[in-house]
Structure 1
Amino acid sequence: ARLQSIRATWTMIYAQDELQARRAAQACAAVGIMPVVRIGKLIDEPFDSEPFVEALREPFQVFGSRPYIQIYNEPEDEREWRHGRPGNWVEIFARNWAAHAQRIYQAGGYPGIQVLTREPFDAAVDAVRASGHQELWERAFFVQHNYGANHPPAYPYDERNQVDNPGQTIIQDQLSGLGFLAYAAWMQERIGYVLPIVGGEGGWLFGAEEDRRYPKVEKALHAQYHREMFDWLRTGVLANGEPLPDYVFSITPWIVSSWTFAGQNWWDNPLTPEGQLTQTIEAVQAIPAFVRQFSWDDGTPPVDPPVDPPVDPPLDPPVDPQPVALPPLRKGDWIDEFKVQVVRCE
Structure 2
Amino acid sequence: MLTSDIRTDFWPFLPPTAGSTNSLTPAAFGSGQAADFGRSFGAPFELLLAQVLLRLLDRLEATSPLPPAADSTLPPPINRASLPAPTWIYPTPAPQPAEDSLFVPQPSSFSLAEVAAKQAYQQAAPAPAPAPVPTPASALTPAPVPANQSVFSVQSSVVRLKTDDWRLTTDSTPLALSDFPRPPGDNGRGMHWIPTTASTPEVVDRFMSALKAMRIKWVTFLNDGANIGANDYLVQQLKANGMEPIMRIYTPGLQPVSGDLGAAVRHYKSLGVSYFQLYNEPNHSIENDGRQPDVSRYLDLWIPAAKAVIDNGGLPGFGALSPGGEFQDTEFLKQAIDGLQARGELGLLDQAWLAIHNYQGDRATADTGGFSRFKVYADILQEKLGRVLPMIGTEGGSFVSGPQDEARRITLVTDAYRYMVNREPYNFAYTYWVIANEAGGAADPAWEWQALIHKDGQSPLVDALRELT
Q: With structure 2 as the length reference, what TM-score do the two structures score?
A: 0.49
Which residue of 230, 234, 242 corresponds with 1:32?
242
The separation in 1 between residues aligned to 2:333 and 2:452, in whole angstroms, is 31
Distance 1:21 1:191, change over 3 A: farther
> What is the deviation of 1:200?
0.4
**Structure 1 position 178 matched with structure 2 position 354:** no
User: 1: distance between equivalents of 2:230 and 2:373?
Assistant: 30
Q: CA deviation at 1:71?
A: 0.4
Q: 1:217 to 1:70 in 2, by over 3 A?
A: farther
Deviation at 1:285, TM superposition (A): 1.4
Give 2:436's aligned residue: 257
1:84 is aligned to 290
CA distance in 2, matches of 1:261, 1:151: 22
Contact (CA 8 Å) 1:94, 1:123: kept in 2 or not? no
SS in 2 for 1:20: coil
CA drift of 1:123 comes to: 3.0
Alignment partners' CA distance in 1, 2:411 and 2:308: 42
TM-score by length of structure 1 reads: 0.65
Give the Cα–Cα distance (whole angstroms) in 2 for the partners of residues 233 and 217 of structure 1: 27
1:301 matched to which residue of 2? none
Cα deviation for residue 251 of structure 1 reads 0.6
* 1:266 is the counterpart of 2:452: yes
Match of 2:281 among 71, 74, 78: 74
1:197 aligns with 2:391: yes
Partner of 1:15: 223
What residue identity is the alignment partner of 2:378? A
Percent identity for Structure 1 against Structure 2: 25
Query: Structure 2: which amino acid aligns with 1:246?
Result: P
Distance 2:284 2:299 in 1: 15
Counterpart check, 1:276 vs 2:463 = no
2:356 pairs with 1:141: no
- After the TM superposition, which residues 304-343 of structure 1 pair with which residues of structure 2 at under 5 Å, given as runs? none
Give 2:298's match in structure 1, choosing from 93, 97, 100.
Answer: 93
The answer on whether the counterparts of 1:204 and 1:217 sit within 8 Å (CA) in structure 2 is: no
Cα distance in 1 between the residues matched to 2:383 and 2:465? 35
User: Which residue of structure 2 aligns with residue 103 of structure 1?
Assistant: 308
- Per the alignment, residue 294 of structure 1 pairs with none
Instruction: Tell whether 2:269 aligns with 1:57.
Output: yes
Query: Residues 362 and 409 of structure 2 are in contact (CA less than 8 Å); yes or no, is this contact kept in structure 1?
Result: no
Structure 1 runs of 4+ with >6 Å offset:
none
- Higher RCO by CA contacts (8 Å cutoff, separation 6 or greater): 2
C-alpha RMSD of matched pairs (Å): 2.1
SS of 1:198's equivalent in the other structure is: strand
| Aligned residue pairs, count | 243
Cα displacement (A) at 1:43 = 4.0
Q: Distance in 2 between matches of 1:35 and 1:286?
A: 23
Tell whether the 8 Å contact from 2:360 to 2:398 is kept in structure 1 after alignment: yes
**Quick check: 1:223–1:281 contact (8 Å CA) kept in 2?**
no
* Contact 1:95–1:124 under 8 Å retained in 2: no
Residues 118-267 of structure 1 correspond to what in structure 2 (within 5 A)? 118-155=330-367, 170=368, 174=369, 176-207=370-401, 218-234=405-421, 236=422, 244-258=423-437, 259=444, 260-267=446-453
SS across alignment from 1:36: strand
What letter matches 1:42 in structure 2?
A: P
Corresponding letter in the other structure for 1:221: R
CA distance in 1, matches of 2:236, 2:404: 35
- Classify the secondary structure of the residue corresponding to 1:261: helix
Aligned to 2:134: none
Distance, in Å, in 1 between the alignment partners of 2:237 and 2:349 is: 29
1:57 aligned counterpart, secondary structure: helix
Question: Could you tell which deviates more after superposition, 179-188 or 146-155?
Answer: 146-155
Deviations 1:96-134 (A, max 9, x none): 112211221122210001223023322322332234233
| Amino acid in structure 2 at the alignment position of 1:22 | D
The structural deviation recorded for 1:2 is 1.1
Using the alignment, how far apart are the partners of 1:22 and 1:136 within structure 2? 27
Kept after mapping to 1: 8 A contact 2:393/2:429: yes
Q: Which residue of 1 aligns with 2:146?
A: none
SS at match of 1:27: helix
Unmatched segments (≥5 aa) in structure 1:
61-65, 156-169, 209-215, 237-243, 289-346
Q: Offset at 1:90?
A: 2.3
1:4 has 2:212 as partner: yes
Matched residues in 2 for 1:84 and 1:220: separation? 36
Cα distance, 1:178 vs. partner? 0.9
Shift, 1:21, TM fit: 4.0
Separation in structure 2 between the aligned mates of residue 21 and residue 127 of structure 1, nearest angstrom? 34
- Aligned in 2, Cα 1:217/1:227: closer, same or farther, shift over 3 Å? farther
- Post-superposition Cα deviations, 1:170-200, rounded to whole Å, max 9, x if no partner, equal 3xxx2x1111111111111112211111120
2:67 paired residue number? none
Select the structure of larger CA radius of gyration: 1
Structure 1, 20-29 or 4-13: larger mean CA deviation = 20-29
SS in 2 for 1:285: helix
Alignment check: 8 A CA contact 1:69 1:112 kept: yes
- Cα pair distance change 1:69/1:284, threshold 3 Å: same
Question: What is the identity, as a one-letter code, of the residue corresponding to 1:132?
Answer: G
Gaps of 5+ in 2: 1-208, 323-328, 438-443
Distance 1:22 1:97 in 2: 25
Answer whether contact 1:21 1:52 (CA < 8 A) is retained.
no
Q: Label 1:98 to 1:79 Cα distance change in 2 as closer, same or farther (>3 A).
A: same
What is the letter of the counterpart of residue 78 of structure 1? S
Q: Give 1:217 deviation, angstroms.
A: 7.6
